[in-house]
């Protein structure tokens, strides 16, 4: 920030979120001159760690389940060299406690232990896991590549609709009917698994991944895929120093390659010539007020669908078909309410299996599939679940994995309840300010039913509503955790709307790294895909020898260095 921006760059990225930064670095490293303009004084709003409670308590407000080890960017961009270190608390990444003090657990690295654990609950369901694991685990890297790091293709959605994957599933699992593609995730789980607790725990985890098991389409297969994905190291990691350490690694990397990041620089509008996007105009509140910066090749918007098209392009410039697509885009599909607690002793699960004490995360408040159906009904009607349902993930592993995230002798636990944004019964979304603490109390009371000892050790609490998220980051419209809808209607090439061609857009010179497929997560997929397509369009992609890492390999390598070897076949 020693000097203002130049008048021109090859590529301008609007929004310094982790995906905008990822796209910016890939392109800068490919030889382009790239500048990124971020509204806030600190980049990476969706991956923030802030001391909002008391000094030394690091609160990871957005991304908590860091899936960066899936990403080719981890190795391509040498993020470890720029300070990123991934940590986790224990091999049992996730668990689902029940009020009778039993739990269904998910192992992150050891599929054999996963199989044995499920076998102790239900032999049939353990065999289902083993069969699915043996088929899917060896091809997990390719699957993740095609789903998260490859631009979506027309035809993939039609293949699922026509039952392609379902008939393959039916050939493997006789329990799954031939019309599996017409089932919801819940219906599929009901066919496939016998044990009610396993069904409930698996479905809760599907919700956690942003896949709604009451829907059809891609959500249908998630109950089979999730346990396999979880056992291949995929999730339940934090970064040393908190989630925001990823942002710092990306910023350092960008700067090291000569990229320019300008913080405190909200973009007001795209500069347009006809329907072509040629640059950006900063807001009058920017550090460089009303500066106009041109892009020689392209502008990438790292803002979600509504701000990109309604504000940056301008509603008046949208052709009817684009306006219809943008207006129809649903923001509030996956919305979370946060409780963050500080404990004065390590979390302990008295009366439950010992493994829970060191596990990273959990979901709670669902005793059977009926509770999952209750959540679906509540969300469909914009009603607040009461009692709450905490299926967005809870994390107890931050300070267990990384003591730097809390003062000595203190520990943090976080819980995400699934909620609607709009609150029509209470008079609208602004009512979130009034019910913040009372809804937080309901989550406290619910967790007390599972773990009274943990709640007795709470010394401070902080609650964050979806409205708070929206206020902090106007690109997180209605508090959406996934920058808008991810369900079947908006899957693949249909995101953010049919005909958009994302990550390209209907406006020449404009590319998108947000509200596209894949949806933005800490696996950095949407930034990767935006960079991939733009680099191809500019004829640069084939010349980058360094741009070659494969998804999932980083995690396998990190585990290997820690003496853990993943097993891909449970003979
Ligand atoms: C409650 C919650 C929980 C989540 N949990 C997880 C999780 O556990 N794991 C996970 O992987 N992901 C999680 N996510 C998603 C996570 O936030 C995304 O992975 C990540 O933030 C997406 O990054 P992005 O770059 O796509 O978008 P963003 O982080 O939203 O980046 C957009 C950037 O644009 C900036 N901006 C906004 N307006 C302007 C403007 N006018 N001009 C310039 N800049 C502007 C914003 O400040 C922001 O920095 C969660 C999100 C939420 C809200």
Strands 86-87 and 238-239: antiparallel
The C-alpha atoms of residue 26 and residue 32 are separated, in whole angstroms, by 9
Q: Are the CB atoms for 329 and 310 separated by under 8 Å?
A: no
- Highest average pLDDT, of 167-171, 217-221, 512-516, comes from 512-516
pLDDT, tens digit, for every residue of 5-25? 999 999 999 999 999 999 999
269 lines ligand 1 (CB under 6 A): no
Express as a percent the part of the chain with pLDDT over 70: 99
Mean pLDDT of 301-330: 98
Q: Determine the distance separating the centroid of ligand 1 and the alpha carbon of 311, expressed in angstroms.
A: 18
Within 10 Å of residue 269's Cβ, how many Cβ atoms?
A: 15
User: Which residue owns the Cα nearest ligand 1 atom 32?
Assistant: 17
394 Cβ inside 6 Å of ligand 1 = no
Q: What does pTM read for this prediction?
A: 0.97
Q: What share of the chain is helix, strand, coil (3-state, %, to 5)?
A: 45, 15, 40
Quick one: average pLDDT of 417-430? 97
Report which protein residue has its CA nearest ligand 1's atom 22. 520
Give nearest CA residue, ligand 1 atom 28. 17
Domain 8-47+243-331+485-538 top-level CATH class: alpha beta
Whether omega for the bond prior to residue 551 falls within 30 degrees of 0, making it cis, is: no
Ligand 1 atom with minimal separation from the 37 CA: 43
Delimit the CATH 3.50.50.60 region(s) of the chain: 8-47+243-331+485-538
Mean pLDDT of the chain: 95
Give the confidence band of 2 by pLDDT, cuts at 50, 70, 90.
low
**Half-sphere CA count of 452, side-chain side, radius 13 A:** 4
Which residue's C-alpha comes closest to atom 17 of ligand 1?
A: 46
359-389 burial, b for 16+ CB within 10 Å, e for fewer?
bbbbbbbbeebebbebbbebbeebbbbeebb
474 lines ligand 1 (CB under 6 A): yes
Residue 539 CB neighbours (<10 A): 8
CB contact at 8 A, 213 and 184: yes
According to DSSP, the β-strands at 292-301 and 8-14 are: parallel
* Percentage above 90 pLDDT, the chain: 90
Report the chain's terminal Cα–Cα distance, integer Å.
Answer: 57
User: Which tokens in the block code for residue 65?
Assistant: 């389940």
Specify the pLDDT at position 501. Answer: 97
Secondary structure (3-state) at 273: strand
Q: Which residues pair with 97 in a beta bridge?
A: 103
Mean predicted confidence (pLDDT) in 64-71: 96
Q: Which residue has the higher pLDDT, 164 or 195?
A: 195
Per DSSP, the residues of 354-379 read GGGGG-SEEEES-SSHHHHHHHHHHH
**pLDDT: is 482 or 182 the higher one?**
482
- Which are the contacts of 430, defined by CB distance < 8 A and separation ≥ 6? 467
Do the Cβ atoms of 505 and 313 come closer than 8 Å? no
| Cα angle 87, 91, 94; round to 5 | 95
Q: Are 39 and 266 in contact (CB under 8 A)?
A: yes
For the stretch 547-566, pLDDT in tens is 999 999 999 999 999 999 99
Residue range(s) of every CATH 3.90.660 domain in the chain? 335-479
Whether the CB of 303 sits within 6 Å of ligand 1: yes
φ and ψ at 136, to 5 degrees? -90, -35
Amino acid 176: pLDDT:
86
**Cα–Cα distances in Å, from 404 out to 407, 458, 516?**
7, 19, 35
Q: What is the CATH number of domain 335-479?
A: 3.90.660
> Which residue owns the Cα nearest ligand 1 atom 34?
15
Helix (H) / strand (E) element for 551: namely none
Q: If you average pLDDT over residues 36-47, what whole number do you get?
A: 97
Q: Ligand 1 atom closest to Cα of 464?
A: 1
Question: Coil, strand or helix: which one is 191?
Answer: helix
Can you give the pLDDT at residue 510?
99
Q: Does the beta carbon of 234 lie inside 6 Å of ligand 1?
A: no
Which of 286, 475, 503 best tests ligand 1's pocket when mutated (most atoms within 8 Å of CB)? Answer: 475
DSSP 408-468: TT-EEEEEEEE--S--GGGTSGGGHHHHHHHHHHHHHHHHHHH-HHHHHTEEEEEEE-HHH
């Amino acid at each position: 920030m020693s000097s203002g921006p130049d008048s021109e760059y090859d590529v301008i990225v609007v929004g310094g979120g982790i995906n905008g930064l990822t796209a910016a670095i890939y392109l800068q490293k490919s030889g382009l001159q790239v500048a990124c303009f971020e509204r806030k004084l600190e980049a990476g709003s969706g991956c923030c760690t802030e001391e909002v409670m008391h000094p030394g308590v690091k609160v990871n407000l957005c991304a908590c389940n860091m899936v960066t080890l899936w990403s080719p960017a981890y190795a391509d961009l040498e993020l470890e060299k720029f300070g990123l270190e991934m940590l986790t608390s224990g091999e049992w990444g996730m668990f689902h406690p029940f009020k009778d003090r039993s739990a269904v657990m998910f192992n992150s690295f050891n599929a054999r232990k996963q199989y044995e654990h499920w076998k102790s609950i239900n032999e049939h369901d353990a065999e289902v896991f083993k069969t699915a694991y043996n088929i899917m685990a060896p091809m997990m890297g390719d699957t993740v590549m095609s789903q998260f790091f490859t631009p979506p293709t027309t035809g993939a959605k039609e293949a699922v609709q026509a039952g392609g994957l379902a008939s393959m599933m039916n050939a493997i699992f006789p329990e799954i009917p031939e019309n599996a593609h017409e089932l919801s995730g819940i219906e599929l789980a009901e066919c496939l698994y016998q044990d009610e607790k396993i069904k409930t725990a698996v479905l809760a985890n599907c919700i956690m991944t942003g896949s709604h098991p009451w829907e059809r389409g891609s959500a249908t297969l998630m109950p089979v895929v999730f346990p396999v994905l979880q056992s291949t190291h995929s999730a339940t990691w934090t970064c040393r120093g908190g989630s925001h350490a990823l942002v710092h690694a990306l910023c350092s990397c960008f700067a090291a390659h000569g990229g320019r990041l300008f913080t405190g620089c909200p973009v007001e509008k795209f500069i347009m010539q006809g329907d072509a996007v040629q640059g950006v105009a900063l807001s009058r509140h920017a550090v460089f007020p009303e500066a106009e910066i041109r892009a020689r090749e392209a502008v990438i918007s790292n803002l979600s669908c509504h701000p990109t098209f309604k504000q940056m392009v301008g509603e008046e410039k949208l052709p009817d078909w684009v306006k219809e697509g943008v207006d129809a885009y649903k923001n509030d599909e996956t919305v979370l309410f946060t409780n963050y607690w500080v404990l004065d002793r390590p979390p302990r699960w008295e009366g439950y299996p010992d493994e829970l004490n060191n596990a990273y995360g959990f979901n709670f408040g669902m005793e059977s599939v009926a509770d999952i159906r209750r959540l679906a009904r509540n969300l469909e009607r914009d009603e607040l679940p009461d009692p709450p349902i905490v299926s967005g993930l809870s994390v107890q592993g931050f300070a267990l994995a990384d003591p730097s995230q809390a003062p000595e002798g203190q520990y943090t636990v976080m819980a995400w309840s699934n909620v609607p944004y709009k609150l029509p019964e209470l008079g609208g979304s602004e009512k979130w300010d009034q019910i913040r603490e009372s809804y937080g109390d309901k989550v406290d009371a619910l967790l007390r039913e599972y773990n009274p000892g943990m709640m007795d050790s709470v010394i401070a609490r902080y609650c964050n509503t979806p409205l708070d998220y929206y206020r902090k980051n106007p690109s997180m419209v209605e508090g959406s955790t996934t920058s808008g809808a991810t369900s079947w209607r908006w899957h693949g090439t249909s995101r953010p709307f049919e005909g958009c061609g994302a990550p390209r857009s209907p406006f020449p010179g404009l590319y998108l790294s947000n509200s596209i497929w894949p949806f933005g997560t800490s696996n950095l997929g949407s930034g990767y895909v935006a960079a991939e397509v733009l680099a191809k369009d500019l004829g640069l992609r084939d010349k980058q020898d360094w741009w070659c890492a494969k998804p999932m390999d980083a995690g396998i390598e990190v585990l290997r260095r820690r003496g853990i070897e993943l097993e891909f076949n449970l003979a």
